Amino acid sequence: MSTRLPRVGLSACFFHADPQRPIFKGKTLLYVEESMAHYVAQAGGLPLMIPTAAGAISLEAAVAEMDGLVLQGGSDVCPRSYGEEPLDPRWEGDHLRDLYEISLIRAFRAAGKPILGICRGLQVINVALGGTLFQDITTQLDGAREHRNWDVYDQLKHEIICEPGSWFAKIHGGDSFTVNSVHHQGIKDLAPDLVVQARSVSDGVVEAISLGPEPKDDDFLVGVQWHPEFQTPEDRDLLSREPILSRFMDAVRRRVEAAHVGS
Whole-angstrom CA distances from 179 to 145, 155, 158, 207, 239 are: 14, 9, 6, 10, 6
Please check whether residue 241 lies inside any domain of the structure: yes
Of the pLDDT bands very low, low, confident and very high (cuts 50, 70, 90), residue 258 is confident
Indicate whether 155 pLDDT > 90: yes
Summarised one tens digit per residue, pLDDT across range 159-174 is 999 999 999 999 999 9
The number of domains in the chain is 1
Share of the chain above pLDDT 70, in %: 98
Please check whether residue 1 lies inside any domain of the structure: no
> What value, to the nearest 5°, has the Cα angle with vertex 64 and ends 226 and 94?
40
Q: How, if at all, do strands 115-118 and 221-224 pair?
A: parallel
Please check whether residue 2 lies inside any domain of the structure: no
Indicate whether 2 pLDDT > 60: no
> What value, to the nearest 5°, has the Cα angle with vertex 119 and ends 94 and 115?
95
Mean pLDDT of 3-21: 94
Q: Which residue is catalytic, options 119, 147, 162, 172?
A: 119
pLDDT value at residue 208? 98
Indicate whether 1 pLDDT > 60: no
Indicate whether 262 pLDDT > 80: no
Please check whether residue 142 lies inside any domain of the structure: yes
pTM for the full predicted model: 0.96
AA identity, residue 73: G
> What value, to the nearest 5°, has the Cα angle with vertex 162 and ends 78 and 244?
70
Please check whether residue 125 lies inside any domain of the structure: yes
Please check whether residue 101 lies inside any domain of the structure: yes
Average confidence score pLDDT of the chain? 95
- The CATH number of the domain holding residue 78 is 3.40.50.880
Nearest partner of 230 among 35, 71, 41, judged by Cα: 35
pLDDT value at residue 40? 98
Of the pLDDT bands very low, low, confident and very high (cuts 50, 70, 90), residue 15 is very high
* Known catalytic membership, residue 229: yes
Sheet holding 206-211, edge to edge: 46-50, 7-11, 68-71, 115-118, 221-224, 206-211, 194-200, 157-162, 176-180
Mean pLDDT of 136-152: 97
SS3 214: coil
Indicate whether 263 pLDDT > 80: no
> What value, to the nearest 5°, has the Cα angle with vertex 32 and ends 228 and 259?
80
* Known catalytic membership, residue 227: yes
Query: Contact, 243 vs 166, CB < 8 A?
Result: no
Domain that holds residue 74: 7-262
pLDDT value at residue 170? 97
Indicate whether 101 pLDDT > 60: yes
Mean pLDDT of 186-192: 98
Please check whether residue 33 lies inside any domain of the structure: yes
Of the pLDDT bands very low, low, confident and very high (cuts 50, 70, 90), residue 73 is very high
Task: Please give the DSSP secondary-structure letter assigned to residue 217.
Answer: G
Please check whether residue 30 lies inside any domain of the structure: yes
Indicate whether 261 pLDDT > 80: no
Burial of 204 (0-12, 13-18, 19+ CB in 10 A): middle
